[in-house]
Chains A and B, each alone.
Chain A
Amino acid sequence: MTRDHLEIRPRLAAVRLLRLASVATVAIGAAALALISTPAQAVPSFARQTGLACEACHTIPPELTPFGRRFRLNAYTLTTRPPLVSDIDDHKRNTVWLTDLPGMSILLQATYDHWNRPLPDSLVPGAKSQSDDFQFPQQMSIMYAGAISDHFGAWLQMTYLQNTGSLGIDNNDVRYSDHTANNDWVWGVTLNNNPSFQDVWNTGEAYGIPYFPVQSLYSATQPLGNTGMRAPIFTQFPGLAAGLGAYVWYKDSIYLELSEYHSAKSGSAIANEDSSNLNVGGGTIDNFAPYWRAAYERDWGYNSAMIGTSGMYVKFVPSVFAGQTLSPGNVNRYLDLSVDWQYQYNGQHNIFTFLGHYTHENQENDPGLVPTYFNNSTDHLNQLQVTGEYYYNHRYGGLVSFRRATGTTDVPFNGGTGSPANQFEVFELDYLPWYNAKLLLQYDLYNVVNNNQNPFFLLGATNPKASDNNTWVVGLWMDF
């Protein structure tokens, strides 16, 4: 869309269209996000391959122990099993190495969700709307997870989601790794489709809390599956970008990584669009977006502590309105900088975990899009997430997680009051009859939600409030 084209549009019409676009974006974004962004979990095919118990790699699935992190950094390759097929040519080169057991697993989630406020009946004209969801499965994944050869492994996940009724590509991570003879340096290359999915700590977005997000059958409420509200841009490309990264892991303590992400520029294919709730209707990464990560971990006794930093710089081409052509001349520049931390106590009976991250996002808006689509030339977003967990004997426990986002007011961009602020807490009680099965009771409490991201506002409910979205979740998670 050209700048001239933008300017001849009457302001009122633009605002109305913006509102419409927001709804469409939320719906489309929700569908795409729901399709792609499902939580990472424990994978029994690793156990089949290694013979290790779940608790070798996980405190409580999917959170990783120090050993679980090493297993992943070593490209999922640890095994005592011989290759089924191997061949070495005349030059002593290993030409093929196939494992004897394909690393297949199934992940199953079933859920019952109850909203604090029923959806307005007007949603379905003439009919009383159903507001609780009972989904079996909420999602089901089939995955290959494990070694491919002696230095090469993969996590390839396909997921069916009931709220979209479709099967799609979920998190993918293919990696190669090797180490020096004395094991001081482990190095690797990762090819993945979701910035931060490759990370081995659970402080980020792709491999972090919430592990069991609400996924409503009514897609317009999806944004409040506690992932869909305004969030830093690096979290907004699950399955929508391809990244190639290289990392080193020094003396089991220092981790450094540099990756580059790219999404195909396309004017029409939703699959290539950012599915975020950037209210201008999504867009794509312009050229390559670098992502970097550094972390320091120290393990002693039953304790493991990490402090780290990460960031991503994205030149982002907004598509202005969902479904309309991109405007290649308009580029917004995002810089995300995060610090994150994790402490684990993984004792004989008790497991304590304290983890979180703080992200500051600086967003420079293209002058051509100001003031029609962005009020400010520069916007900021700050996100804080803090989580505490306790489990006893790997069997009983729970977590409390707090997330808060604040930032600059920008009415055209954020809609509603113009504030990007949101805040919610997750309270969860878990019972694990076996390590690979979890029964949970979760309550999501919303304190702050921008109207423009509140489905009750968008659906025209009277006096919409953040708390309308509070949700009880009864869930079952199984992995086998």
Chain B
Amino acid sequence: MDGLLMGKLAVHSLFVAALALAATVVRDAPAADLVVPHDPSALDATMLVSNACSKCHGATGVSISPLFPILAAQQAAYIDTELKLFRQRARSDPHARAFMWGIARGLTDDQIDGVAQYFSSQPPVRGTASRNPALAERGKALFENGVPAREVPACNICHGANAEGLGTFPRLAGQHRDYLVTQLQQFRGQLRESEIMQPIAKNITDDEIAAVAEYVASK
């Protein structure tokens, strides 16, 4: 094969390639949003819930595993506050470190707000009936009266008469028992930061934690 023919072939190949490329560009041109800029805000709250939150907390905020809290009907202000604490790495209980620091690391305020609104607007889950009514009854007394002798205030002062929460005070009703127990233990052990809950939990016993969790989870 002589050089001229080779050259012609090369030019021809280039031309065909250019045509093909042009055709591709023209065909794809209308899809202006083909390339999404690398910006976490590109994921709206619904997509975030679908791609991340739902894997543990459920698509409607009803988690199955007690390792992860139920978020359905949770107070929006509470979710907002906690997600920002995770993002700042200011809440450092073991699960926060392992899971939520990473999840929250790139979230924008808008995304956090969207996620908070999404979960807070889901229907609440009804608690499961207690299998130990006596324990739940004891928990009810603690929830409503606290332990004045040890300066433990009643839970309902902040968390509401039906444990529905208010503002940055979280909804507790219907939450997983194991999750509630773990959180109270972590407040008591100073593993989870809270200026309010650490001093309260410091004075409660394992039995009292079990009782109050039993009552609240059944609501």
Specify whether A and B are partners: yes
Given the interface contacts A53-B97, A183-B64, A301-B182, does A79 sit within 8 Å of B51 by beta carbon? yes
List 13 additional contacts besides A47-B102, A71-B55; criterion CB under 8 Å.
A51-B101, A53-B99, A66-B65, A67-B56, A67-B99, A80-B103, A82-B47, A84-B35, A100-B38, A182-B62, A252-B64, A302-B182, A348-B191
Chain B interface size, under 10 / 10 to 19 / 20 to 34 / 35 or more: 35 or more
Listed in ascending order, the chain A residues whose CB lies under 8 Å from chain B are 47, 50-53, 55-56, 66-67, 70-71, 74, 77-87, 100, 150, 179, 181-184, 251-253, 299-302, 348
Q: Does B67 have its Cβ within 8 Å of any Cβ on chain A?
A: yes
- Enumerate chain B residues within 8 angstroms of A80, measured Cβ to Cβ: 40, 43, 48, 51-52, 103, 105-107
Interface residues of B in 22-46 (CB under 8 A from A): 31, 33-36, 38-40, 42-43
- Enumerate chain B residues within 8 angstroms of A253, measured Cβ to Cβ: 64
Q: Does B98 have its Cβ within 8 Å of any Cβ on chain A?
A: yes
What is the CA–CA distance of A74 and B182 in the complex, to the nearest angstrom? 26
CB atoms of A53 and B55 under 8 A apart: no
- Enumerate chain A residues within 8 angstroms of B137, measured Cβ to Cβ: none
- Enumerate chain A residues within 8 angstroms of B121, measured Cβ to Cβ: none
Interface residues of B in 100-142 (CB under 8 A from A): 101-103, 105-107
- Enumerate chain B residues within 8 angstroms of A71, measured Cβ to Cβ: 55
What is the CA–CA distance of A125 and B59 in the complex, to the nearest angstrom? 68
CB atoms of B31 and A87 under 8 A apart: yes
CB atoms of A251 and B67 under 8 A apart: no
What is the CA–CA distance of A450 and B47 in the complex, to the nearest angstrom? 58
Interface residues of B in 63-109 (CB under 8 A from A): 63-67, 94, 97-99, 101-103, 105-107
CB distance from A201 to the nearest CB of B (A): 16
Contact of A67 (CB < 8 Å), options: B35, B67, B106: B67
Residue of A nearest to B31 (CB): A87
CB atoms of A85 and B36 under 8 A apart: yes
CB atoms of A52 and B103 under 8 A apart: yes
CB atoms of A84 and B101 under 8 A apart: no
CB atoms of A84 and B38 under 8 A apart: yes
What is the CA–CA distance of A55 and B36 in the complex, to the nearest angstrom? 32
Q: Does B193 have its Cβ within 8 Å of any Cβ on chain A?
A: no
- The A interface, classified by DSSP as helix, strand, loop or mixed, is loop
CB distance from B65 to the nearest CB of A (A): 5
Contact of B59 (CB < 8 Å), options: A77, A84, A182, A299: A182
CB atoms of B60 and A53 under 8 A apart: no
CB distance from B91 to the nearest CB of A (A): 14
CB atoms of B67 and A299 under 8 A apart: yes
CB atoms of B60 and A181 under 8 A apart: yes
Residue of A nearest to B99 (CB): A56
- Enumerate chain A residues within 8 angstroms of B31, measured Cβ to Cβ: 87
Residue from the set B63, B67, B101, B105 with the largest chain A CB neighbour count within 10 Å: B67
Contact of B55 (CB < 8 Å), options: A78, A181, A184, A299: A78
Residue of A nearest to B176 (CB): A300
Given the interface contacts A84-B35, A252-B65, A301-B182, does A183 sit within 8 Å of B40 by beta carbon? no
- Enumerate chain A residues within 8 angstroms of B64, measured Cβ to Cβ: 183-184, 251-253
Listed by A's residue number, 28 A-B pairs whose Cβ atoms lie within 8 Å are: A50-B103, A51-B105, A51-B106, A53-B99, A53-B102, A55-B98, A56-B99, A56-B102, A70-B56, A78-B52, A78-B55, A80-B40, A80-B48, A80-B51, A80-B52, A80-B107, A81-B43, A84-B36, A84-B38, A87-B33, A150-B50, A179-B59, A182-B59, A183-B60, A183-B62, A183-B63, A251-B64, A299-B67
CB atoms of B34 and A85 under 8 A apart: yes
Listed in ascending order, the chain B residues whose CB lies under 8 Å from chain A are 31, 33-36, 38-40, 42-43, 47-48, 50-52, 54-56, 58-60, 62-67, 94, 97-99, 101-103, 105-107, 178, 181-182, 189, 191
Interface Cβ pair total, 8 Å cutoff:
108
CB atoms of B94 and A348 under 8 A apart: yes
CB distance from B127 to the nearest CB of A (A): 17
7 nearest A-B residue pairs (beta carbon): A51-B102, A82-B42, A56-B98, A252-B64, A183-B58, A53-B98, A52-B102
Given the interface contacts A183-B64, A251-B64, does A85 sit within 8 Å of B35 by beta carbon? yes
- Enumerate chain A residues within 8 angstroms of B36, measured Cβ to Cβ: 82-86
What is the CA–CA distance of A51 and B51 in the complex, to the nearest angstrom? 13
Given the interface contacts A51-B102, A182-B58, A300-B178, does A77 sit within 8 Å of B65 by beta carbon? no
What is the CA–CA distance of A90 and B77 in the complex, to the nearest angstrom? 38
- Enumerate chain A residues within 8 angstroms of B55, measured Cβ to Cβ: 70-71, 74, 77-78
- Enumerate chain A residues within 8 angstroms of B62, measured Cβ to Cβ: 182-183
Residue of A nearest to B186 (CB): A348
CB distance from A419 to the nearest CB of B (A): 45
CB atoms of A52 and B66 under 8 A apart: no
Given the interface contacts A50-B103, A51-B101, A56-B98, does A299 sit within 8 Å of B66 by beta carbon? yes
CB distance from B21 to the nearest CB of A (A): 18
- Enumerate chain B residues within 8 angstroms of A252, measured Cβ to Cβ: 64-65
Residue of A nearest to B47 (CB): A82
- Enumerate chain B residues within 8 angstroms of A179, measured Cβ to Cβ: 54, 59
Contact of B66 (CB < 8 Å), options: A150, A182, A301: A301
CB distance from A303 to the nearest CB of B (A): 9
What is the CA–CA distance of A85 and B33 in the complex, to the nearest angstrom? 9
Contact of A82 (CB < 8 Å), options: B43, B50, B60, B63: B43
What is the CA–CA distance of A253 and B67 in the complex, to the nearest angstrom? 13
Residue from the set B54, B98, B106 with the largest chain A CB neighbour count within 10 Å: B98
CB distance from B207 to the nearest CB of A (A): 16
CB distance from A86 to the nearest CB of B (A): 6
What is the CA–CA distance of A100 and B42 in the complex, to the nearest angstrom? 12
What is the CA–CA distance of A78 and B55 in the complex, to the nearest angstrom? 7
What is the CA–CA distance of A53 and B98 in the complex, to the nearest angstrom? 5
- Enumerate chain A residues within 8 angstroms of B42, measured Cβ to Cβ: 82
